[in-house]
Amino acid sequence: MKQNKNKIINKQKSNAYRKKILLIFTGISVIVIFVLLNIFYIFIYDVVTQCDYFNVKTIRVAGTNHLLRKQVIRQANLSLNQNILSVNLNKTKLYIINNPWIEEALVQRKYPSTIIIKIIEHMPFAILSMDQKYIINNKGKIFKKWEKGDPEDITVITGVDYRDIRTNRQAGSFCYIQVLDAVKYKTEYENKFHQLKIKKIAVDREIGISVIPDVYKFPICIGFKNLPEKFNKLFYVIKHLKKRNELDKIVLINFNSLNRVIIKQHQKKPCPYILKEV
């Protein structure tokens, strides 16, 4: 009985020993296979990255408007004949959107030898004239400081300050929102009537919005309310005054009230003989 018990115990010990050996062998095998696979992958990666077949031969750029294709490629820090797998797509995207003109960017690989760059540029909407000049997009956000060579034929906005401006955290003040609407409406009506080009828009918290034609330079006060209707009537008024050759005589047009237009003209100088008699 005692001998049978010893045999069972010895057999159990032997089995446990075999299991340990098998476990160790299995662990070593997994490590060896893992190391071999890594060596294999490194070898394949080296072969692929050094193969001319995967060198960049074409860089496509889509979405440019203000920028040139070569400017985007230079901004992306890309060049032909570099290996396509060595291009870090996320890093390249960060390089691209570092350009203030670029709002969004997408970088893709097309095997075996093409890099595709798609960008969305900020559309210059107006120039904010404060202590310095800044360009804003159609969302009212500043995207760059105005510099020589930047667009000059867009509307200049005066009378706003940094507290008014729309950012990612705030929608912008009432005055700022209204003046952005004024730029939008004046662009629509300029395209519709072709009678008057408005270069400057000034905003005052008490008086409201005033627009200044590019040629005649007199202010047109339109206030804050009913801007679409006022612009619509304004261009008909300008058309009428232009037909009568009276635009050169205008000093001020007040359009604060939708139902009334006040036009102030240059005062004619009285005759010197009359002055003398007086």
Comparing 38-47, 90-99, 166-175, 235-244, the range with the smallest average pLDDT is: 38-47
pLDDT given at position 67 = 94
Contacts (Cβ under 8 Å, ≥6 apart) of 158: 129, 200, 201, 202, 203
Domains, the chain: 52-121 (3.10.20.310), 126-265 (3.40.50.11690)
pLDDT given at position 163 = 85
Give the C-alpha separation, 47 to 52, whole Å. 10
Closest CA to 202 of 223, 216, 184: 223
- Pick the most confident of 9-13, 52-56, 107-111, 231-235: 107-111
* Alpha-carbon distances, residue 48 vs 90, 113, 153 (angstroms): 21, 12, 51
pLDDT given at position 96 = 97
Asked whether residue 253 carries a pLDDT value surpassing 70, the answer given is: yes
Q: pLDDT tens digits for 75-128?
A: 999 999 898 988 999 999 999 999 999 999 999 999 999 999 999 999 999 999
pLDDT given at position 14 = 64
| Between 53 and 57, residue with greater pLDDT | 57
| Between 48 and 206, residue with greater pLDDT | 206
